[in-house]
Amino acid sequence: MHDHPVAPPETAAPHAEPPDDQSADLTVSAVTTVAPAGPGAFDAPDSAVAAAAPIVPAEPAPLPDLATMFGQCAWFRALAPEHQALVLAQSHAERHEAGDVIAQRLAPSEYWIGVHRGLLKLAIFNASGRGCTFSGVPSGGWFGEGSVIKRELRKYEVVAVQRSTVLMVPVDTFHALLDTSLPFTRFVIHQLNNRMGEFIASIQNSRLLDVDARVAQSLAQLFNAALYPDTGPSLAISQEELGMLVGVSRQRINQALQQLEKRGVLRLAYNQIEVVDLAALARVGMEQI
């Protein structure tokens, strides 16, 4: 297994997100992570952050063995023993820190990628640094099957939003499973279908909904169990991270979340969002369509 970050090239443009007035053109979905959240307000006041002593990140624990990590994936458990052995023999895991570029845009799609723990975003950036986030991928999510199937250049950058552990299945292993494993083929078909539905909804929401409703819909999308099976009732994510994914400022995210809390669809705590009524959250803004 590999345990090293992949740094972006020195010539890469800065990854700046657009201001609020540009965010309506983004196709996005918010994401969750399994990291625990602490007590208190959703985000600490800026003055408290400034006064606090610098926090030194703890050394990460050793990675679990591949069999343990893949064993948490439903698609892997459905494979025949010989196909499970193939995956374990040819795949590897990597740990990345926040900000690491895990896969470059326009580079060959050499791996099908899964998130064992953490939070990634799929995004593109132009020469001026303006960015567009297509989707976020939390723990339990897999992505990139379209580019891997076609063996084409990847159409987006894969960036770690939080410290993340990812599973890397080589393109040839993926195709071997696709050719010989009916359970895997069935999983990929369902994965592509659910991903298409997510992107269609994201385009609709980004074009037609106001910011409060877009935030609500982005949060609701995280509870698609077919795409994000590890999602629970709480999202451990900061306002800044959520803003990176939705494409609006931290301050505007705060306003939207406060409004949603007043409606009784979620509760806020320090770096954590608890969804109280998922059905009501999913209905927010639908009258605008």
What is the C-alpha to C-alpha distance for residues 284 and 78, in angstroms, rounded to an integer? 36
- Between 35 and 270, where is the model more confident? 270
Q: What is the pLDDT of residue 211?
A: 92
Q: What is the pLDDT of residue 152?
A: 96
Q: What is the pLDDT of residue 210?
A: 92
Tokens for 194?
A: 């659910």
Residue ranges of domains in the chain, CATH in brackets:
64-189 (2.60.120.10), 209-288 (1.10.10.10)
What is the C-alpha to C-alpha distance for residues 268 and 87, in angstroms, rounded to an integer? 40
Binned at pLDDT 50, 70 and 90, residue 136 comes out as: confident
Residue 129 has pLDDT above 50, yes or no: yes
Binned at pLDDT 50, 70 and 90, residue 29 comes out as: very low
Q: Are 43 and 237 spatial neighbours (Cβ–Cβ below 8 Å)?
A: no
Q: What mean pLDDT is predicted for residues 238-246?
A: 80
Range in 26-35, 92-101, 146-155 the model is least confident about = 26-35
The DSSP symbol for 130 reads B
Place of tokens 């326009």: 106
Question: ∠288-197-287 over CA atoms, to 5°?
Answer: 10
CA atoms within 13 A on the CB side of 185: 7
What is the C-alpha to C-alpha distance for residues 272 and 289, in angstroms, rounded to an integer? 29
Determine the straight-line distance between the first and last CA of the chain, rounded to whole angstroms: 47
Q: 163 vs 34, 97, 278, CA distance in Å?
A: 11, 4, 27
Q: What mean pLDDT is predicted for residues 6-23?
A: 44
Q: What mean pLDDT is predicted for residues 265-270?
A: 90
Give the β-pairing of 119-125 and 157-160.
antiparallel
Q: Is 59 helix (H, G, I), strand (E, B) or coil?
A: coil
pLDDT digits (tens, 9 = 90+) for 158-205: 999 889 999 999 999 999 999 999 999 999 999 999 999 988 988 888
Dihedral pair phi/psi, residue 116, rounded to 5°: -75, -50
Residue 32 has pLDDT above 90, yes or no: no
pLDDT digits (tens, 9 = 90+) for 44-76: 444 444 444 555 556 667 888 999 999 999 999
Q: What is the pLDDT of residue 55?
A: 54
Q: 1 vs 4, 148, 171, CA distance in Å?
A: 10, 21, 17
Q: Are 143 and 113 spatial neighbours (Cβ–Cβ below 8 Å)?
A: yes
Binned at pLDDT 50, 70 and 90, residue 157 comes out as: very high
CA atoms within 13 A on the CB side of 93: 17
Place of tokens 């050394």: 59
- Single-letter residue type at 221: Q
- Within 71-123, residue ranges assigned H as helices are 74-77, 81-90
Q: What mean pLDDT is predicted for residues 204-210?
A: 89
Using the CB atoms, write b or e for 225-236: b if 16+ within 10 Å. eebbbbbeebbb
Residue 40 has pLDDT above 60, yes or no: no
Q: What is the pLDDT of residue 57?
A: 57
Residue 81 has pLDDT above 50, yes or no: yes
Range in 12-21, 141-150, 196-205 the model is least confident about = 12-21
Q: Is 132 helix (H, G, I), strand (E, B) or coil?
A: strand
Q: 73 vs 62, 82, 226, 245, CA distance in Å?
A: 20, 16, 11, 25
What is the C-alpha to C-alpha distance for residues 134 and 128, in angstroms, rounded to an integer? 18
Chain centroid, CA 7 distance in Å: 19
Q: What is the pLDDT of residue 226?
A: 81
Residue 35 has pLDDT above 60, yes or no: no
State what percent of residues in the chain have pLDDT above 70: 79
- Between 143 and 33, where is the model more confident? 143
The DSSP symbol for 265 reads S
Binned at pLDDT 50, 70 and 90, residue 10 comes out as: very low
